Amino acid sequence: MAEQSKKVALALGAGAARGFAHIGVLKLLEEEGIKVDMVAGTSMGAVVGAFYCSGMSLRMMERLARFTQRNHWVDLTFPRLGLICGDKLEQFINIFIRGATFEQLKTPLAVVATDICSGNRVVFDNGPVARAVRASAAIPAIFVPVEHEGMTLVDGAVVERVPVQTAREMGAEVVIAVDVGVYVDNVKVHHVLDVILQCIDIMARDLCRIGTAQADLVILPQLNNIAPGQFHKAEEAIAAGEAAARAMLPAIFETLTGKSRSEQNA
């Protein structure tokens, strides 16, 4: 895409299995030559963001999404603070980003977590990436919280489900938010993960609406047929993300260039 001069940030939201839709959005933006200058991610958005910002190809990300099994990242523990320890998830991420720190990433990244002792939003943009992503994705009661510098950190979705504010703070001139949805009507739950995330969704629906209202553009993949715990539906989620991004292309082109897509191609 020609004439893109504004600094663009993607704000990739939480949503567990629905977050695979972020890969589809990234695919479409890459195909259209739309440059992403920085990424802010929460929970699953932080996982996808870390892989992307480390330089991993989208083809590889798709393969991981489709073929990774739960036993690759789930390490059950005695349920005092959570059912899953989280060490295995951190190691899994670390392997694929080659132990990178934020300073070593090819694209700037910020990751959002929540300190449950203070209720504060905590933004990571330096130090080890995998540890920060583990904290951002530590779904309460599912994952054991991450202890860091006197804080007890859990999923960033508790305070900033779609990290638009964080993207602004990174210096973005245009923020494209990807909201993988808060579905609270007639939802079927299949797993304890679905139960907990559905409760978080219900509590966060108004907060999410306020947050995404601050974005310049919001991409909303239709994922109501995918429960948060249905990781086997990765291909469907990726396709939904790509379709939603494609539908937003005219608005994206106009926001970034001040011209319609047809004017650009003329």
Instruction: State the catalytic residues.
Output: 43, 155
Structure tokens at 37: 């200058």
Q: In angstroms, what CA-CA distances link 91 with 85, 144, 217?
A: 12, 15, 34
| Separation of alpha carbons 167 and 160, rounded Å | 11
CB 33 within 8 A of CB 257: no
- Kindly give the interhelix angle for 87-97 and 129-136, rounded to the nearest 10 degrees: 140
Structure tokens at 118: 């203070």
Number of residues assigned to the chain = 266
| Separation of alpha carbons 201 and 198, rounded Å | 5
User: For residue 143, what are the β-bridge partners?
Assistant: 84
